[in-house]
Amino acid sequence: MTRSANHATTPDRTPGVPHPGSAPAVQLDEARRARCYPISRWWLRPAAGRLAALLAPTRVRPVHLTLCGLLLGCAAATTILWRPEWSPLAAMLVLAAWFFDRADGQLARRQGTVSRWGAWLDANVDEALDVALHVALAAAAAARLGSPAPWLLLAAFLAGKHLFMYGLATEEHVTGDRHKSRNHAGEAPQPASRLRNAYHLPGNADVRVHVLAAALLTGWFLAELAFVAAYYNLRWIARYVLVARRLGVRP
């Protein structure tokens, strides 16, 4: 799952030591962050915020919620693999895992326990679950269809995502540019920004989680694998072309 770190450290806080921020500041920060989650912001993320508010004065820490999400995601992958006919249950487990993934960062910010370790763990748990869920999906689809096509789509998805993410990781070093598509708070989106947002939307982790859940509810396993495989391969090709143009490369 492509994501932004939700445990990022801030200069005025000591990682691991509670320094709860003021309620208005927390609410403003969460409202700003909510715009990165086009679907969850309307239902799942507010519920995660309420859980974080309840847990803030307790001894529960963000890592506990991260591990809950990991266990739920593993349960979803196991369900898809061994009981594909129970895929609607797997869809609920996927959404439950995403719920805890939305809650751990909010709890960290409320408690003032943000840390680089938390950000690293959260991001890597997300990526591990993304791979595990899609491997399980490919296995279930291949068994259902009696065809290797789902495995080929899985390989295309993983290769495309690797090439895209590696390209992003090296792009700033090569070009010296840091390109951001987000608008400043309070600004109305410009037409070019709307086009960029539409272009990036299918790769948004929140959108992809809900697409995966919908595929599990409907049984459209192959369609979901084809979607992510096509999207990431188109993205890395388009990204490489844009970088080549910026660097003045001519065919």
Write the pLDDT tens digit of every residue in 131-163.
999 999 999 999 999 999 999 999 999 999 999
Q: Helix (H, G, I), strand (E, B), or coil: what is residue 114?
A: coil
60 φ/ψ sector (left φ>0, alpha ψ -120 to 50, else beta): beta
What pTM value is reported for the model?
0.81
| C-alpha to C-alpha distances, 175 to 26, 178, 244, 248, 249, nearest whole angstrom | 36, 8, 10, 11, 12
Provide the pLDDT confidence category of residue 4 given band limits of 50, 70 and 90. Answer: very low
Is the C-alpha dihedral spanning 58, 48, 201, 184 positive or negative? negative
Neighbours of 139 (CB within 10 A): 19
Condensed to tens digits (0 to 9), the pLDDT of residues 117-136 reads 999 999 999 999 999 999 99
Q: How far apart are CA 147 and CA 3, in angstroms?
A: 32
